[in-house]
Chains A and B, each alone.
Chain A
């Protein structure tokens, strides 16, 4: 095995171009487990820790450009206002030690259906910035990034530079089912974001299909129901039958399996429960902010 230690992003891209089989290692919280247990013996490890840019973020007009290696701890501490869904999801990852090392770039690299960043990213909306020495930068919409169980849209010579996540324009929530609060890989998980500016709701489901998915049919139904009832303007409580229909459609958009963590039918059920709850929580919060802004006016 060879250990490659590029000191800059350009050097890293060059190394990846020269050795497309090289395995990038950022926080190492996925890669090292595989090496320790001899599940993986890469020819080359490509260390990204010396590339300082990868641990930085920029808050722009529309979105946050989050460096691939920004650890979860930093997201929780610094980006709660801009990326509330991702900050909540980050807080559910493993333990403080793991959150101090692991980040979204590694989560996207592994592309596990259980990765906690994915539902939050799908719900918020955004793009993955990837780059290769040969073809330069391309932006992959998050909806097109997940290709199969632990497969993503990266080409062998590409590295993830950053994720551009839409800044929250409304309340966001993240919910996860597991056996305890810490150190739990999701049985299933659900992210939801209200986007009052575009009057849409977006979702993300984890661990309930071969890839992280959005519940598109449920979103379309809810968007139409909210529009029709004038809910965005009148700020009324969402009709229970609408919430129920939304939850049922979220359940229906799952394609889960039975495994050691839970059965398919449990997952489908739990996704429906989380969908209804996160919708209620975010909508209550939206109504609350509407009331205070109206009161102030």
Chain B
């Protein structure tokens, strides 16, 4: 079957989709967007987290056909999504991330260590600055979840952060640096930098 939906602000069409396929599979294998990770395919790890009509969900548990006509934001579009949010919407009418840009999206920029030269969302920059990324497999899911937390609750307590990220597993960091990153992003957001 064919599925039409919006990905990172742009209309997309996925063809030859099998009816039992997940949104995660469509994103990765049909649209070439491997940012959302596949680690468990059973909702346990959160590495496939995306926003579906604004709501964070495990894309491995959404059937492809269920997203027809709906709006999905993946980690590849997060920088642009956060930018539009801070600017209060899309001024030019040509926002969003094209499929090609999304497919080639990297946090690298001109300096691969610091992400300098790429436009990153505040949480992405904070994850780099706080050293919250080790192997990086959990990172996309955590970024999407953290970004949504800060959108909903700009000044979260530690308990709020733990709760919001309780569906995201990380096997490397021990979570402390991830907590630091979210606190850092919240602090920067409140200072308006």
Contact = CB atoms under 8 A, between A and B. Distances in A.
Contacts of A45: 19-20, 63, 65
A237 interface: no
A96 B43 contact: no
A41 interface: yes
The interface centre, meaning the residue of B55, B66, B163, B164 with most chain A CB atoms within 10 A of its CB, is B66
A162 B19 CA distance: 27
The interface centre, meaning the residue of A96, A98, A181 with most chain B CB atoms within 10 A of its CB, is A96
Interface stretch (A27-35, A80-88, A167-175, A238-246): A27-35
Interface string B128-151: 000000000000000001000000
A3 interface: yes
Please classify how large the interface on chain B is, using the bins under 10, 10 to 19, 20 to 34, 35 or more. Answer: 20 to 34
Interface in B37-74: 41-44, 46, 49, 55-58, 60-63, 65-66, 68
Contacts of A181: 166
B55 A100 contact: yes
Please classify how large the interface on chain A is, using the bins under 10, 10 to 19, 20 to 34, 35 or more. Answer: 20 to 34
A183 B44 contact: yes
A47 interface: yes
Given A37-B41, A95-B46, A96-B167, A1 B19 contact: yes
A219 to B, nearest CB: 34
B187 to A, nearest CB: 22
Interface string A88-116: 00000011111011000000000000000
A29 B167 contact: no
A286 B94 CA distance: 58
Contact of B66 (A47, A100, A182): A47
A45 B60 CA distance: 16
Given A33-B42, A181-B166, A97 B57 contact: yes
A25 interface: yes
Interface in A125-169: none
Contacts of B68: 5
Interface of A: 1-3, 5, 25, 27-29, 31-33, 35-37, 41, 45, 47, 49, 94-98, 100-101, 181-183
4 closest A-B pairs (Cβ-Cβ)? A95-B167, A182-B166, A1-B19, A3-B65
Given A32-B60, A33-B61, 9 more contacts: A2-B19, A3-B63, A5-B65, A32-B62, A96-B145, A97-B56, A97-B57, A97-B58, A101-B61
